[in-house]
């Protein structure tokens, strides 16, 4: 069972089609669901993925274009209809807080569900810090202020070597410290080095979500060598001339970012409605970077 | 080819499910599409029905609950993305105009699409009058101000009897008047009665859309003997005790309204998410009124 998974609820762009929904992704990390963007229809896709509303605690908005936001009022209404109460934190710019508060008050103001806002800026910052992961923002280049979100697991506990723990008679009260890297001092004063008692932790994983943006070379370095990079591929090189003015990237440009960042894998998406065959994004990206995963609604992708 | 059809885009209630979408209906009358309510996802269902955005001219909102409204911002954005311009009239209460203007300005303010508001009141009134039909409101009993909409075709032109027109040598310039019911005076002064030249017009049709409302006996008379009555059937009699306090009706109550109004047919809908088998609404309504049509997403229903 993976404890870090990506669910694609929608990977189309602004103009909705019968093949793709507008943007929404859910990061499923341990017991918590983190939604990134919430295009119209996201709450239904959420149900189709058999995710549970009670596990949804955070929504991150990359920017304030309708195709990334307009599913949120309906989702919040539905959460309120659950009737059990609960709390959701929406991470968005101050403008987003202002308009969304008006909408929620009007359409869901009487519902027993609390929405809290965390106002973010289009800068590099850590915006969420939990015991098991951090989320940081990276500013992007779109037509309006936009950020990408990078989820990074914190270092995990080292694995106990059960036989060595028994041999050296380590008491249970010490186990947590030893998983954290501490040595053990026996009652007779002999010090047992941590490496004797433990093996290295499971590697920490990281996920970067980059949408929407024009290509700029400095981005790769800001992202770094993540395990999975979602990077928008709105266009192919055939329409490269339109990409930058509209604040979007081609599949080749996304692959260039993945390669230069040292990412392990690239996930495509935010496809323009003009393409009928999505495999063009895959083929174009693979010319630059080998490990490309073609996105689609319904995709569930474990990071480990 | 029918020139008066109903398309059901969504016939669920507030809590969205994988079986039913929130409320939206399209009335297709001659060359124009009239949408009634616009729950989340309506724009996609609209495309699934192969309807054309360029024919959509009016949207009527029964009331300002999210499950009847929250598809509208996305729909308006998409209309703007068409890039061809155009104009849409939204018929809603003043509160609806205020919140929707804020939302449209924020999410679709830069798009080349004009949205005009026609502010309506929760009273009986004719709110639209075109050469071929009128739309009037009927106040309903819900938890917030709510109206039903009744579409009534105007009297249609009488049918020309081609052989008699030829025999009496009626000039083309007179045809329009004669279709309107005028007699024809021949050059020799002889008057030919209209009934000799024409046969009666195709009957005018009418459609009533009643959602959401508690049952009240006076409603039937205000609706009158329409050809098709959509009346919400949120519940069955098994949950009758919940219907009135929540401003909703049972299938039996809807059928009672249909019977007392003298409607020709009843269309169900606005199903609560608690029912897994919609045929319960059909069976219950048919105990009171025989001609019941079970609604579903994708339904296209000609009135003639």
What confidence tens digit (pLDDT) does each residue in B54-86 have?
A: 999 999 999 999 999 999 999 999 988 876 667
Highest mean pLDDT: which range of A15-24, A292-301, B15-24, B78-87: A292-301
- Show residues of chain B in contact with A21, CB under 8 Å: 44
How large is the average pLDDT for residues A127-146?
A: 97
Judged by CB atoms closer than 8 Å, whether chains meet at B47 and A81 is answered as: no
The single residue listed with the structure tokens 């490309």 is A292
- Nearest residue on chain B to A63, judged by CA atoms? B107
Q: CA of A81, closest CA in chain B: separation in Å? A: 7
Report CA-CA distances (Å) from B287 to A90, A269, B251, B252, B263: 49, 52, 10, 8, 16
Closest CA to B70 of B26, B27, B100, B25: B100
Q: What does residue A237 show for φ and ψ, rounded to 5 degrees? A: -60, -20
Dump pLDDT digits (tens) for B291-300.
999 999 999 9
- A43, A2, A44, A6: which is closest to A25 by C-alpha? A6
A48 touches chain B (CB under 8 A): yes
Cβ contacts from A onto B, under 8 A = 85
Cα nearest neighbour of A110 on chain B: B65
Tokens 């009744």 belong to residue: B150
Backbone phi, then psi, for A99, in 5-degree steps?
A: -70, -40
Tens-place pLDDT, residues B26-64 = 999 998 999 999 999 999 999 999 999 999 999 999 999
Average pLDDT over residues B3-29: 95
pLDDT band at A138 (very low <50, low <70, confident <90, very high): very high
pLDDT band at B97 (very low <50, low <70, confident <90, very high): very high
Please tell me the distance in Å from B15's CA to the nearest CA on chain A.
6
Which residue out of A40, A44, A71 would a mutagenesis test of the B interface target, given it has the greatest number of B Cβ atoms within 10 Å?
A40
Smallest Cβ–Cβ distance between A18 and the set B22, B48, B102 belongs to B48
Q: Is the CB of residue A106 less than 8 Å away from at least one CB of chain B?
A: yes
A14, A40, A65: residue with CB nearest B71: A40
Distance from CA of A83 to the nearest CA of B (A): 11
> What are the catalytic residues of B?
67
CA distance A183 to A174: 10
The interface predicted TM-score (ipTM) is 0.90
What pLDDT is recorded for position B84? 67
For residue A227, the distance in angstroms to the closest alpha carbon of chain B comes to: 33
- Reading across the β-sheet that carries A266-267, which strands appear in turn? A125-129, A133-139, A147-153, A206-210, A228-231, A266-267, A292-293
> Which residues on chain A are in Cβ contact (under 8 Å) with B14?
77, 81
CB contact under 8 Å between B17 and A47, yes or no, is yes
pTM reported for the whole predicted model: 0.92
**Contact list, B43 vs chain A (CB under 8 Å):** 16, 40
CB < 8 Å to A15, chain B: 78, 81
């Amino acid at each position: 069972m993976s404890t870090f998974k990506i669910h694609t609820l929608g990977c189309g762009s602004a103009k909705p089609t019968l093949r793709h929904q507008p943007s929404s992704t859910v990061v499923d990390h341990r017991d918590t669901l983190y939604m990134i963007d919430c295009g119209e229809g996201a709450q239904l896709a959420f149900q189709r993925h058999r995710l549970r509303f009670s596990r949804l605690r955070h929504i991150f908005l990359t920017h304030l274009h309708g195709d990334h936001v307009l599913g949120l009022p309906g989702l919040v209404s539905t959460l309120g209809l659950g009737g059990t109460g609960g709390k959701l934190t929406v991470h968005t710019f101050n403008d987003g807080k202002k308009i969304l508060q008006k909408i929620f008050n009007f359409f869901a103001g009487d519902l027993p569900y609390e929405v809290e806002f965390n106002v973010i800026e289009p800068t590099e910052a850590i915006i969420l810090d939990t015991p098991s992961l951090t989320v940081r923002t990276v500013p992007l280049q779109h037509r309006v202020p936009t950020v990408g979100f990078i989820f990074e697991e914190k270092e995990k506990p080292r694995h106990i070597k059960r036989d060595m723990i028994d041999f050296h008679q380590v008491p249970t009260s010490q186990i947590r410290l030893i998983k954290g890297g501490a040595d053990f001092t026996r009652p007779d004063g002999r010090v047992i080095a941590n490496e004797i008692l433990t093996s290295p932790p499971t590697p920490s994983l990281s996920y970067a979500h980059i949408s929407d943006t024009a290509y700029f070379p400095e981005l790769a370095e800001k992202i770094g060598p993540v395990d999975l990079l979602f990077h928008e591929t709105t266009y192919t090189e055939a329409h490269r001339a339109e990409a930058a003015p509209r604040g979007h990237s081609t599949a080749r440009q996304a692959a260039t970012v993945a390669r230069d960042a040292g990412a392990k894998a690239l996930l495509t998406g935010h496809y323009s409605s003009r393409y009928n065959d999505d495999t063009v994004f895959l083929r174009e990206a693979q010319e630059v970077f080998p490990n490309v995963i073609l996105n689609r609604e319904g995709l569930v992708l474990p990071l480990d």
